[in-house]
């Protein structure tokens, strides 16, 4: 323990490793580092912005090309400058930092752009009380034409689609959460390492990759077998199709969450003479509750915007249908799809496009709300600490 | 409320790995028995066979007999859950339930088993167990606060309170002080001395002074070589083990020549 390991070139001071410095060891050349503030970076960033503007407005380059070119120049300038004032390590640090920021911006730009477009196009109609309370029952291309000419008001809304979305996703959640959660419990608590457990995990992985249209066809085929081809389209079929997509996500999310519950807690409960199933129900699940709940919410968010499987399994309804066990229903995604691809009046598309954008905005808001809910749940259920 | 333990020809396995071989010993009621030995020699493993926590690990099994007051724990008709209610355990790292308050932690053994308990009885049991663990005065004003907000030493005493709240016959402790500071260690050692009035206490420790301070009898476990099973080399009164051990290996170990 206390014998110093013999280095190939022993320190000149005579072998006492504790009193030698790293730079005394021949063969190690520590890089020189000088403190360097952020001011040069800011100055270079400002200069690059000017360069970008000149390239864009002055030379007429495309915005994206101008930004990219000036970013490359920025990287070069950053590296050279910081190498000068701070040394190689500082330069690399700043270089990598800039690249990370760049990657972050690249990831955020599409998101911001989508939000911007959807809000810009949809906000006008989405919060109109009439739009939120009307269905498309009896609305025809004629109404749209009259609206476009100014001789009548805007009619037709997405009430039935909103309710359909909530109903069908709710049903899908009711189906997938118990199945997914119990599968995860089996995988973590009972089947860990066993052959059955490995088999199930493999199948779940395969299921994750199922294209959503296949899930829709599966549900449709299943319900055709049971109810015959004429009565097969119903909300429940859509819920089953969504469950096929949701279950693997729920299993995966829940499995992660159960796995990070410390084994010590399970042992503590078992050692108190608590049976295993009670240990799982009363200790493991409550400890993981926040993660489980937010995992489920994210799984819902994942399927709430599905279009293709619902189109296949549920069809398209113009009016409100509260009964998921009988007849077609509508959902926001399918509604937006139909309004966009099959406008009521092919001659006057604008009102239908307006409806499509409004439905899209409502859908995005639902997803954002679900994500916020997931965070809220995570903090509410989180194990308490502190005095 | 205290019983003797007789271990006969016990072999312990993790799958194919033979971890501990051929242990035979008797542990007296109302005493403190300490196990010492270099790490990896199977002290924890052996301890966990005394309340059938060993078999919680997949593939783990034992051969031989552990009898508590004559009843073999590993007999076919014995439910491991019942065994664990009689033989409580305290782990190396304090592990209070993070979702529960201090009081709920103490009552966990009762509540998790869904035994009905009136509010008054719950209060009494909480106070009794916390007093028994020398923790009552420190936490009586914040019983509803989370158990994870206590200091390490307090958490460990909370775990002891939780273990004695189910009124076991035997209490097993696996290096209960190794994550604690000297003051908390002292508090736990005092507590162990009080616990032996009512319980059979078995403690694993890697601290030989601690074994000498708290225990009546000491067992020394050792490994012949890595990969070989651990074994009980010597088991005697603590006095004898530390003053005139009969085995050379024991003497080497306690005089610090290895381990
Ligand atoms: N969960 C386990 N699975 C397989 N082997 C284990 C497990 N726990 C402990 N062992 C092995 O059993 C032997 C004894 O370990 P342990 O009882 O923890 O020793 P000690 O508590 O004396 O330090 C060691 O060789 C260890 O590697
Ligand atoms: Mg150990």
pLDDT tens digits for A114-144?
999 999 999 989 999 999 999 999 898 999 9
What ipTM score was computed for the predicted complex, to two decimals? 0.92
Q: Is A264 on the interface with B (CB under 8 A)?
A: yes
Which atom from ligand 1 is nearest to the alpha carbon of B39?
Answer: 23
Confidence at residue A11, expressed as pLDDT on a 0 to 100 scale: 43
- Nearest-ligand number for the alpha carbon of B48: 1
CA distances from residue B243 to A254, B20, B247 in whole angstroms, order as listed: 56, 26, 12
On the 0-12 / 13-18 / 19+ scale of CB atoms within 10 A, A328 is buried
Digit-coded pLDDT (tens) for B22-43: 999 999 999 999 999 998 999 9
CATH code of A159-381, in short, is 1.10.3720.10
Q: Higher model confidence: residue A36 or residue A386? A: A36
What is the least distance, in Å, from the CA of A103 to any CA of chain B?
A: 38
Confidence at residue B61, expressed as pLDDT on a 0 to 100 scale: 94
State whether A271 and B85 contact (CB < 8 Å).
no
Mean pLDDT of A87-116: 93
Asked whether the predicted pLDDT for residue A15 surpasses 70, the reply is: no
State whether A275 and B95 contact (CB < 8 Å).
no
Residues contacting ligand 1 via CB (< 6 Å): B 14, 17, 19, 37, 39-45, 57
Asked whether the predicted pLDDT for residue A275 surpasses 80, the reply is: yes
Which atom from ligand 1 is nearest to the alpha carbon of B46?
Answer: 17
- Which candidate from A262, A275, A385 shows the least CB-CB separation from B81? A275
Confidence at residue A365, expressed as pLDDT on a 0 to 100 scale: 95
Mean pLDDT of B134-154: 92
Lowest mean pLDDT among B123-132, B164-173, B179-188: B179-188
Q: Is A319 on the interface with B (CB under 8 A)?
A: no
d(CA B164, CA B167): 5
Q: Where are the domains of chain A?
A: 1-30, 34-115, 159-381
- Check whether domain B5-254 has CATH 3.40.50.300, yes or no: yes
Confidence at residue B258, expressed as pLDDT on a 0 to 100 scale: 62
Strand B87-90 with B71-72, pairing: unpaired
H helix intervals, B50-181: 80-86, 102-106, 108-112, 119-132, 136-139, 152-165
DSSP-derived secondary structure for A42-82: HHHHHHHHHHHHIIIIIS---HHHHHHHHHHHHHHHHHHHH
- Let me know: does B214 contact B193? Beta carbons within 8 Å: yes
Digit-coded pLDDT (tens) for B48-91: 999 999 999 988 999 999 999 999 999 999 999 999 999 999 99
Mean pLDDT of chain A: 89
CA distances from residue A355 to A52, A137, A145, A348, B14 in whole angstroms, order as listed: 38, 14, 14, 13, 65
d(CA A197, CA A202): 9
Q: Which two tokens stand for residue B104?
A: 């709920």
Digit-coded pLDDT (tens) for A180-216: 999 999 999 998 778 999 999 999 999 999 999 999 9
- Let me know: does B107 contact B122? Beta carbons within 8 Å: yes
Confidence at residue A6, expressed as pLDDT on a 0 to 100 scale: 44
On the 0-12 / 13-18 / 19+ scale of CB atoms within 10 A, A320 is middle
Closest among B163, B137, B169, B168 to B3, alpha carbons compared: B169
Confidence tier at A9 by pLDDT (50, 70, 90):
very low
Q: Which residue of B has its CA nearest to A288?
A: B99
Q: Which two tokens stand for residue B138?
A: 């420190």
Confidence at residue A386, expressed as pLDDT on a 0 to 100 scale: 47
Confidence tier at B112 by pLDDT (50, 70, 90):
confident
State whether B113 and A274 contact (CB < 8 Å).
yes
Mean pLDDT of B151-164: 94
State whether B146 and A385 contact (CB < 8 Å).
yes
Which atom from ligand 1 is nearest to the alpha carbon of B37?
Answer: 22
State whether A270 and B84 contact (CB < 8 Å).
yes
In sequence order, what are the residues at sequence separation of 6 or more whose Cβ sits closer than 8 angstroms to the Cβ of residue A212? A241, A245, A306, A308, A309
- Let me know: does A249 contact A241? Beta carbons within 8 Å: no
d(CA A22, CA A65): 47
Digit-coded pLDDT (tens) for A60-82: 889 999 999 999 999 999 999 99
Confidence at residue A209, expressed as pLDDT on a 0 to 100 scale: 93
Confidence at residue A192, expressed as pLDDT on a 0 to 100 scale: 79
What's the angle, vertex CA A141, arms to CA A140 and CA A143, rounded to 5?
70
Q: Is A279 on the interface with B (CB under 8 A)?
A: yes
Digit-coded pLDDT (tens) for A334-372: 999 999 999 998 889 999 999 999 999 999 999 999 989
Confidence tier at A274 by pLDDT (50, 70, 90):
very high
- Nearest-ligand number for the alpha carbon of A263: 1
Ligand 2 center–CA B178 separation, angstroms: 10
Mean pLDDT of chain B: 92
Which of B57, B60, B95 should be substituted to probe chain A, the one whose Cβ sees the most A Cβ atoms within 10 Å? B95
- Let me know: does B87 contact A270? Beta carbons within 8 Å: no
Which of B49, B89, B98 should be substituted to probe chain A, the one whose Cβ sees the most A Cβ atoms within 10 Å? B98
d(CA A151, CA B24): 100
State whether A386 and B146 contact (CB < 8 Å).
yes
Confidence at residue A385, expressed as pLDDT on a 0 to 100 scale: 57
Q: Which residues of B touch A275 (CB under 8 A)?
A: 81, 113
State whether B58 and A192 contact (CB < 8 Å).
yes
Q: Model's pTM, two decimal places?
A: 0.84
Terminal Cα distance for chain A, rounded: 41
Confidence tier at A378 by pLDDT (50, 70, 90):
confident
Confidence at residue A32, expressed as pLDDT on a 0 to 100 scale: 73
Asked whether the predicted pLDDT for residue A23 surpasses 90, the reply is: no
Asked whether the predicted pLDDT for residue A309 surpasses 90, the reply is: yes
Confidence at residue A16, expressed as pLDDT on a 0 to 100 scale: 56
Q: Is A60 left (phi over 0), alpha (psi -120 to 50) or beta?
A: left
- Let me know: does B148 contact B96? Beta carbons within 8 Å: yes
Closest among A71, A43, A67 to A55, alpha carbons compared: A67
Mean pLDDT of B192-216: 92
CA B89 to chain centre: 5
Asked whether the predicted pLDDT for residue B140 surpasses 50, the reply is: yes
- Which candidate from A192, A265, A274 shows the least CB-CB separation from B95? A265
Mean pLDDT of B209-234: 92
CA distances from residue A376 to A17, A49, A249 in whole angstroms, order as listed: 53, 39, 20
d(CA A279, CA A261): 12
Other residues' Cβ atoms within 10 Å of the Cβ of residue A296: 23
Confidence at residue A249, expressed as pLDDT on a 0 to 100 scale: 95
d(CA B19, CA B37): 14
Confidence at residue A382, expressed as pLDDT on a 0 to 100 scale: 75
Q: Which residues of B touch A267 (CB under 8 A)?
A: 53, 56, 91, 95
Q: What strands lie across the sheet with B87-90, from one edge to the other? A: B71-72, B60-68, B5-14, B17-27, B230-237, B217-223, B32-36, B200-204, B170-174, B87-90
DSSP-derived secondary structure for A196-218: HHHHHHHHHHHHHT--HHHHHHH
Q: Which residues of A touch B82 (CB under 8 A)?
A: 273
d(CA B227, CA B233): 17
**Dihedral sign from CA coordinates of A117, A121, A124, A126:** negative
CA distances from residue A124 to A127, A201, A357, B111 in whole angstroms, order as listed: 7, 46, 9, 56
Residue identifier of the C-alpha nearest atom 7 of ligand 1: B14
Q: Which residues of A touch B145 (CB under 8 A)?
A: 387
Residue B174: its H or E element: strand B170-174
What percent of chain A stands above pLDDT 70? 92
């Amino acid at each position: 323990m206390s014998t110093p390991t013999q280095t190939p070139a022993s320190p000149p001071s005579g072998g006492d490793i504790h009193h030698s410095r790293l730079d005394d060891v021949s063969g190690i050349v520590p890089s020189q580092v000088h403190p360097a503030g952020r001011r040069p970076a800011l100055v270079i960033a400002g200069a690059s912005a000017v360069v970008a503007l000149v390239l864009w407005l002055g030379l007429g380059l495309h915005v994206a090309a101008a930004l990219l070119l000036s970013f490359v120049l920025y990287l070069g300038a950053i590296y050279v400058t910081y190498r000068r004032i701070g040394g190689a390590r500082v330069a690399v640090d700043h270089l990598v930092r800039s690249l990370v920021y760049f990657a972050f911006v690249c990831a955020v730009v599409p998101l911001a752009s989508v939000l911007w477009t959807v809000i810009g196009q949809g906000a006008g109609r989405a919060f109109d009380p009439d739009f939120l309370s009307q269905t498309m029952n009896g609305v025809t291309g004629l109404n749209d034409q009259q609206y476009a000419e100014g001789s009548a008001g805007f009619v037709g809304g997405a009430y039935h689609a909103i309710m359909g979305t909530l109903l069908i996703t709710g049903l899908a959640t009711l189906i997938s959460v118990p199945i997914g959660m119990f599968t995860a419990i089996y995988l973590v608590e009972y089947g860990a390492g066993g052959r059955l457990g490995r088999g199930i995990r493999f199948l779940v992985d395969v299921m994750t990759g199922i294209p959503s249209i296949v899930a829709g066809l599966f549900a449709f085929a299943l319900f055709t077998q049971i109810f015959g081809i004429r009565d097969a389209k119903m909300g429940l079929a859509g819920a089953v199709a969504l469950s096929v997509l949701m279950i693997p996500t729920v299993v995966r999310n829940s499995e992660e969450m159960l796995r990070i519950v410390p084994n010590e807690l399970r042992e503590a409960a078992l050692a108190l003479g608590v049976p295993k199933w009670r240990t799982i129900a009363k200790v493991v699940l409550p400890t993981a509750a926040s993660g489980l709940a937010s995992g489920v919410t994210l799984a819902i968010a994942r399927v709430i915007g599905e279009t293709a499987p619902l189109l296949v399994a549920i069809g398209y309804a113009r009016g409100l249908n509260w009964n998921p066990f009988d007849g077609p229903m509508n959902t926001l995604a399918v509604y937006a799809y139909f309004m966009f691809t099959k406008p009521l009046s092919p001659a006057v598309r604008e009102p239908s496009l307006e409806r499509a954008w409004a439905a899209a905005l409502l859908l995005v808001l639902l997803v954002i709300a679900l994500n916020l809910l997931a965070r809220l749940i995570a903090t509410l259920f989180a194990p308490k600490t502190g005095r | 409320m205290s019983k003797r333990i007789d271990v006969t020809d016990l072999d312990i396995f993790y799958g194919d790995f033979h971890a501990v071989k051929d242990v035979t010993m008797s542990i007296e009621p109302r005493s403190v028995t300490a196990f010492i030995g270099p790490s990896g020699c199977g002290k924890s493993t052996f301890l966990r066979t005394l309340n059938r926590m060993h078999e919680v690990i997949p593939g783990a099994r034992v051969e031989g007999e552990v009898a508590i007051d004559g009843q073999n724990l590993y007999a076919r008709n014995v439910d491991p859950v019942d065994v664990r209610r009689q033989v409580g355990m305290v782990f190396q790292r304090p592990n209070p339930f993070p979702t529960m308050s201090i009081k709920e932690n103490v009552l966990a053994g009762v509540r998790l088993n869904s035994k009905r308990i009136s509010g008054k009885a719950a209060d009494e049991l909480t106070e009794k167990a916390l007093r028994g663990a020398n923790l009552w005065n420190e936490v009586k004003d914040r019983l509803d606060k989370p158990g994870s907000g206590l200091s390490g030493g307090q958490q460990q005493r909370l775990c002891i309170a939780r273990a004695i709240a189910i009124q076991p016959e035997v209490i097993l402790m696996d290096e209960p002080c190794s994550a604690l500071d000297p003051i908390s260690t002292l508090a736990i050692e005092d507590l162990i001395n009080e616990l032996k009035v009512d319980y059979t206490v078995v403690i694993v420790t890697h601290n030989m002074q601690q074994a000498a301070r708290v225990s009546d009898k000491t067992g020394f476990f050792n490994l012949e070589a890595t990969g070989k099973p651990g074994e009980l080399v010597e088991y005697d009164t603590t006095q004898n083990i530390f003053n005139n051990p009969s085995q050379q290996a024991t003497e080497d170990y306690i005089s610090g020549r290895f381990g």
